[in-house]
Amino acid sequence: TYYPTTQRTTRPLVMNTGWQFLDLDLEDLVFAAYGTAYLKTVQVRVSGGCRVGKVYLADRVYADAELPVHLRTLKPPPIGLR
């Protein structure tokens, strides 16, 4: 369920213990909430009540292997264990 206003939309989000990756399709979210096309992101706000390691925007979903090492969610095993 979306709760749109003229300036922002909120949506409940619950994460279970152990999650590492969250992918939000902004085109889909904007269309579902407002019935219009997504244009651009002006601001991203993260509540102080949660711990976030990285936030980044991309034009598509990239496989972990396509990302630079510092942006990967799945770290390679230590050299001795490869």
Whether residue 77 has pLDDT greater than 70: no
pLDDT at site 24: 84
Cα–Cα distance, 39 to 30 (Å, whole number):
9
Q: Which residue has the higher pLDDT, 4 or 29?
A: 29
Residue 41 in contact with residue 57, Cβ under 8 Å? Answer: yes
- Tokens for 27, please give them: 């085109």
Q: What is the pLDDT of residues 2-17, one digit of tens each?
A: 666 667 777 777 777 7
Q: Using the Cα atoms of residue 11, residue 59, residue 41 and residue 17 in order, give the sign of their dihedral.
A: positive
